[in-house]
Amino acid sequence: MIPDPPAPTVVDDLVALSRTLGEPARNLAILAEGNTSVRLDGEGSSGRMLVKASGAWLARLVPEDLVELHLASLVGLLDREDAGDDQVTRAFTEATVARDAPSARPSVEALLHAVCLSETPARVVAHTHPVAVNGLLCSGSADLLGAGALFPDQIVVLGRHVLVVPYVDPGLPLARHVRGMLRDFRARHGTAPRVLFLRNHGIFALGASSDEALQITEMAVKVALVLQAAAATGGVVFLTDEQADRIDSRPDEHHRRRSLVAREKVSR
Ligand SMILES: [Zn+2]
């Protein structure tokens, strides 16, 4: 009998997701665009995450391109009114857990990963700059992405509501802004969003697993393409609130949502 192959480690899993996201045909990220992260332990702002290092390419990612950081050191920076670029650099150094590749440094977008992992139940975060989505995010029609649901599968994968974030200076200002919007979203909808659309920038997919983060990214791209096609062929017609709420609450759709989430066992 052939034994089962060993379960992939968290590192293998994040490397595989990153390389998939970086595949040229997907048009999600070129060069060193985009980044991925995974929570290693803890909850809320406690615990550690692994995040892609600045300058590393998703398409060619290797384990040495991942940096391990304490979430609390990064998230704590957001509450310091006087914090500037120097403090961000120092906080990154303090937050970094010693690793084999000391030259690898997190990008400034690691702050947003820390916010997403500490403010939502997400375990894996995938940030990309998809051509199809950015076509809308860089247009006067960006708000269409948050204006309603187009088709049932969009609701199953992306949730009933998504978050569209205005353009804010990257780094601490953007991380603070997104944290505020995530808290408002939770207060309004009683749940966390699964995708963030950042105007003139790209998307953050918030998944329970790497499979889910990829599914959310793929669905966000599909929604953007359908929106553009609908706008070009007579105008966008969204589902009504009643129709969308019905999909969101149907037991069979809940079942479909659960069965989409990967059940692979991931060990460290
Ligand atoms: Zn980016």
268 residues of the chain, pLDDT tens digit each? 666 766 679 999 999 999 999 999 999 999 999 999 999 999 998 999 999 999 999 999 999 999 999 999 999 999 887 888 788 888 888 888 866 666 788 888 999 999 999 999 999 999 999 999 999 999 999 999 999 999 999 999 999 999 999 999 998 999 999 999 999 999 999 999 999 999 999 999 999 999 999 999 999 999 999 999 999 999 999 999 999 999 888 777 667 767 776 544 444 4
CA 35 to ligand 1 center in whole angstroms? 7
| Rounded distance from Cα 16 to ligand 1 centre (Å) | 19
Distance from the alpha carbon of residue 155 to the mean position of ligand 1, in angstroms: 25
Q: Residues 248, 155: contact at Cβ < 8 Å?
A: yes
Q: How far is the CA of 227 from the centre of ligand 1 (A)?
A: 22
Whole-number Å distance, alpha carbon 52 to ligand 1 midpoint, is 12
- If you measure from the C-alpha of residue 183 to the centroid of ligand 1, how many angstroms do you get, rounded to a whole number? 21
Question: What is the Å distance from ligand 1's center to 202 Cα?
Answer: 6
Q: Please give the Cα distance from 82 to 92 (Å, whole number).
A: 16
Distance, CA 139 to ligand 1 centroid (Å)?
A: 17
Whole-number Å distance between alpha carbons of 161 and 164: 10
| Number of helices followed by number of strands (H, E) in the chain | 10, 7
Q: Is there a contact between 92 and 155 (Cβ–Cβ < 8 Å)?
A: no
Q: What are phi and psi of 128, to 5 degrees?
A: -135, 170
